[in-house]
Structure 1
Amino acid sequence: MAQDLDEVTATEAAELALGHIERLTKRQTLGVTSVRPTEEGWLAEVEVVEESRVPSTANILGLYEVDLEPDGELVSYRRTRRYARGRTE
């Protein structure tokens, strides 16, 4: 499948999602936990430090869903989860 010149790759979408969330939340991002193509572009999940605590194992993290256009422009974002670092489901 040929890619349009204005479409970004999955790697680029992940990097753009990180940048969008850092700028909008003014919080430290830890990384992208997932990125996948959708009918409308890309959907990425970004992990963010919501509250820094001492020790860092007590930090509160947030998981943000980031919806991007095929060219990487932000459509929307929302926090889908908030949890203590190291806590498993």
Structure 2
Amino acid sequence: MADADTQSTTQCQALTEDGERCSRPAEDDGFCHQHDESDPTVSDSQTQPADDEQEQRTQDADETAESEPKSRDLGVDMTAEEKTDPDAVDADVETDHDEIAGVLAVRRTVESTASELIGREFDAVSEIAPTDDGWRAIVEVVERRAVPDTQDIIGRYEIELDDGATVHGYRRLDRYRRGDTGAFE
């Protein structure tokens, strides 16, 4: 019962379109049923009300700090130009924004259609991977509710999509009780 009380008092970490913090209660991942980690979030420092003493200490520290901006020491020597101009830094990691956009498109498609496609309550997307023909997503749906919810029967389904995120088929991989994690360890 204490878990339910804790969960209902935890507030969603997402920001609304107005820039305000979402007022809905958070689920296990810290977000409500309408938000996820891809939404802008509120940092812990923004959620904690600062008292006058803390603000005064921060102002005093700012006034006594050196005029040169500080950066974390990441073990890399940077020139003055690189410290001030992000475009002057050579990034070792190349990010393929098209592939990220593809994964997000597949995720949105799967989240919006899994429940209707499978005929059960959508629970989560547990995997998205590219294939030769498009994409493969593994989703979890609630096949039977139970009390306590650790006894829910969860079905894991594989959904096949093409490069345009159009669903071409699905199949059930397995079923398990929500509380049984031994099979996946």
Q: For the superposition of Structure 1 and Structure 2, which TM-score range results when normalised by the shorter chain?
A: 0.7 to 0.9
Which segment drifts farther, 69-78 or 13-22? 13-22
- Cα separation, partners in 2 of 1:86 and 1:71, compared to 1, 3 Å: same
Deviation >4 Å, runs of 4+: none
Richer in strand (by share): 1
Determine the C-alpha separation between the residues in 2 that align with 1:58 and 1:28: 15
Q: What residue number does 1:48 align with?
A: 141
Residue pairs, 1:74-85, within 5 angstroms: 74-85=167-178
Q: Larger Rg: 1 or 2?
A: 2
Aligned to 2:115, the other structure's residue is in SS state helix
> Which protein, 1 or 2, shows the higher relative CO under an 8 Å CA cutoff with sep ≥ 6?
1
Unaligned runs of 5+ in 1: none
> Could you tell me how far 1:11 is from its partner in structure 2?
1.3
Deviations 1:19-43 (A, max 9, x none): 2221122321111100011111100
Identity of aligned residues (%): 34
**TM-score, length-scaled by structure 1:** 0.85
Q: Could you say what the CA RMSD is over the residues aligned between the two structures, in angstroms?
A: 1.7
Q: What residue number does 1:67 align with?
A: 160
Aligned length: 85
Q: What residue number does 2:74 align with?
A: none
Determine the C-alpha separation between the residues in 1 that align with 2:97 and 2:138: 25
**TM-score, length-scaled by structure 2:** 0.43
